[in-house]
Structures are given as C-alpha cells and as structure tokens.
Amino acid sequence: MQHPDLDAALQATTASLRNEPVQARSAARLTRLLDSAAEVIDEIGYERLTTAMVAERAGASIGTVYRYFPDRIAVLQSLSIRFLGEFIDEVRAELQTDGIDTWESAIDHVIDTAVSWFSTKPGFRSLRFGDVIDVRPREGERTNIAVVAAVVAEALSDRFDLADEELPLRIEVVLQVVDSLLARAFAFDASGDERVITEARAAAHAYLSSATAA
C-alpha cells in the first residue's frame, strides 16, 4: 500500500516533468536519464550536475533531457523521489520479516538498509532523499526524510502495538541524526567508517530509549 505522503511527493515530482512518460519506450528513456544522473552524481556530487552531463552519459541529445526535465533541479528532484519510493519499499518489506522482535532490531534494520544504500546505490551517498537540495520546504509540506519516518513509525506501531502520537516525530529525529552521521561516515571512505556507523546506531537507540521511557 502506498503511503499518502509518498503519493503527494510523487505527484509533485510528476508535475515538474515536462512530459509524463506513458509509453514503455518513454518510461525506459526516463529511467536511463535518471540512471545516468545517478552515475554522474556518484562521481562528482549533485552540486555540479548539469543537464548536459546527463545527456552525454545517457547517450542522448540535450533536447531529449529537456523533453522530460525543465532544468537540473527537476532531474535531482525526480531522482530523489525515486530513491524515496525504492527505499520505503525495501524498508517496509524488511520490517515485515521474521526475526524482528523488538523496536531496537527494527531500527537496526532501517539503519542497515541506509548503510547498504550509502555504499552501493549510485548517487545516493550525495543526494540521499533530496532534502539537501532545499532544506527549507514550503509551509505545509514534509521533508522527504519525514515521509520515510512516517512509514517506519506506522510499521513499528502496527508490529509492536505502540500507541505514541509523537512516534513519527521521534523517528524523524532519529533518521535526521543517522543521515548526518552516515554522511560523515562515507565522506572519506566509500565503504563507510565503522566507528561512526556504530555511533549512529548507539545514538538512535539511546534517543528512542529515552523518548519511549518518558
């Protein structure tokens, strides 16, 4: 089941595309453009990405890029929303598996997924869920990391019968902290600094233990 906040994010991104792909060929072309953008971002960071770089990497004309994206920001937003949807699907599936018997182990699974993405998913280490593009969302909108937090909180509530209205906010705080620490862990080491990753786990557990005990 799609999460309503993810639906809203997807709709906003679709609205920014010049032509929403409806044919298989168009969808494949759009996928190739986003894959190419991710590859370039993986090499030089999202800040230096240009539409010309996307076209060159994809083996397409600049006109093809502009057929779908009005500018480089639309490319970045579309890629970040793809990351968002795929990450949510993976985390939701992980949280439904056997062997998760505490919220601590559930949070560890979320962190494990994030660590895996930082180390293996092209472009994710730099762009993540796209909140780095604009840290000031418009009033009434959620950051993309808050959308992930809402999905995780819902899964935890269902699995462990948690009745905590503040859980989505608390999970968002945890994910913000973990995101920042993982960015530091992978800043100079493509495989991740295990010391910082360990501290990220400890910080997540300590904060949630304190918050749930309050």
pLDDT at 151 over 70: yes
Residue 21 has what pLDDT?
55
115 falls within a domain: yes
**Encoding tokens for residue 145?**
């990391």
- Rounded Cα–Cα distance for residues 68 and 81 (Å): 15
- Rounded Cα–Cα distance for residues 173 and 56 (Å): 39
Query: What are 162-197's pLDDT values in tens digits?
Result: 777 889 999 999 999 999 999 999 999 989 999 999
Listed in sequence order, the residues at least 6 apart from 12 whose beta carbon sits closer than 8 Å to its beta carbon are none
Half-sphere exposure for 17 (CA within 13 Å, toward CB): 20
Query: What are 10-64's pLDDT values in tens digits?
Result: 455 444 555 555 566 788 899 999 999 999 999 999 999 999 999 999 999 999 9
According to DSSP, residue 188 is labeled S
Query: What are 154-164's pLDDT values in tens digits?
Result: 998 888 877 77
Domain range holding 90? 4-16+79-213
175 falls within a domain: yes
Is the separation of the CB atoms in 164 and 157 below 8 Å?
Answer: yes
Q: What is the mean pLDDT of the segment spanning 132-147? A: 75
50 falls within a domain: no
Residue 17 has what pLDDT?
56
Q: Domain holding 197: CATH number?
A: 1.10.357.10
> What percent of the chain is predicted at pLDDT more than 70?
84
Query: What are 115-124's pLDDT values in tens digits?
Result: 999 999 999 9
Residue 4 has what pLDDT?
55
- Rounded Cα–Cα distance for residues 1 and 93 (Å): 11
10 falls within a domain: yes
Residue 209 has what pLDDT?
87
Q: What is the mean pLDDT of the segment spanning 1-13? A: 51
34 falls within a domain: no
41 falls within a domain: no
Residue 118 has what pLDDT?
97
User: In the chain, how many domains are there?
Assistant: 1
32 falls within a domain: no
- Rounded Cα–Cα distance for residues 202 and 79 (Å): 30
86-108: burial string, b at 16+ Cβ within 10 Å, e else: ebbeebeeebeeeebeebeebbe
- Which comes out higher in pLDDT, residue 36 or 135? 36
Q: Which of 88-102, 124-138, 142-156, 198-212 has the lowest mean pLDDT?
A: 124-138
